[in-house]
Structure 1
Amino acid sequence: MNQHEVRRFALQVIFLLNQNQELTAQSAIQQVKNTTDFDQETPEYATYLVNGVEEKRADLRQSIAQYLKQGWKIERINKIDLSILELAIFEIQNSESIPKIAAVDEALNLAGEFSDDVSKAFINGILSNFVSK
């Protein structure tokens, strides 16, 4: 499994957790495995990303909120875009082996896969401002 696939898997789990706050990270991982025919061991880095986003969700959302236009709130962001932003900002802040620009590029790849061009531009704006601070 390459790094993009690992992040895609982690994103699907984070999205599921954002959809249903009653799930645990482990149960969400199992649900994603069951619904995607994922039949291998959960990659350690995916577990690290999922658990990290879960543990730091409030801080991650505060970081995102700093870069929203006036009048916008976190609740207005659709769940997939929010999940991509949480994943990317967690990775930028906590993964020393991943260059910041690589985390941004990967987030944009995921946005291209799971969202639309408007959302991709929105994500790019938030992350570009976050990285340049």
Structure 2
Amino acid sequence: MNRRVARLRAAQALYQMDLAKSDTDQAIESVVGEEERPSEFFLELVNGTSTQIAKIDEIIMNSLQGWTISRMGLVDRAIVRMMVYEMKYIDDIPVNVTLNEGIELAKAFGGDESGKFVNGVLSKALETIKGE
């Protein structure tokens, strides 16, 4: 499982956890194909994001202008949470790669408007992360 697929599967798992209140193991099991092995990166994204959700949501709330986190679409929220985790806690990935991957995921799942929204939130979140 390469990193792009890992991010896609992780976003799906986080979405499921938010929507159906599934636990981490259930969500991981449901998004990984029978013939697919979950990568360490995938597991880190899902487990790390779910473990750090309170800190991540605080960063997101400070990055939203005229919005609340509960008003965000579930897909956008899952993607933004995962990408904030990646920007804050994974050091070996350049931030511009994380931003681009998040925008591409948002466009693929939600369209151009989601891409623009995610770009704005992640850019603002990055300012907060750098200021910490």
| 1:80 matched residue in structure 2 | 75
What SS does the corresponding residue of 1:52 show, helix, strand or coil? helix
TM-score normalised per structure 2: 0.91
Identical positions, percent: 27
Instruction: State the aligned residue count.
Output: 128
Greater mean alpha carbon deviation, residues 106-115 or residues 123-132: 123-132
- Residue 132 of structure 1 deviates from its aligned partner by 3.3
**Closer/same/farther in 2, CA of residues 77 and 51 from structure 1, 3 Å limit:** same
Task: Select the residue among 42, 45, 48 that pairs with 2:44.
Answer: 48
| 1:65 matched residue in structure 2 | 61
> Separation in 2 of the partners of 1:6 and 1:64?
22
Which runs of structure 2 are paired with 1:28-39 in the superposition (5 Å)?
28-33=27-32, 37-39=33-35
Letter in 2 for 1:61: D
Which runs of structure 2 are paired with 1:111-130 in the superposition (5 Å)?
111-130=106-125
Cα RMSD after superposing both structures = 1.2
Deviations 1:66-85 (A, max 9, x none): 11113x21110000000010
Gaps of 5+ in 1: none
- Structure 1 outlier segments of 4+, above 3 Å: none
Gaps of 5+ in 2: none
> Separation in 2 of the partners of 1:86 and 1:2?
20
What SS does the corresponding residue of 1:69 show, helix, strand or coil? coil
| 1:18 matched residue in structure 2 | 18
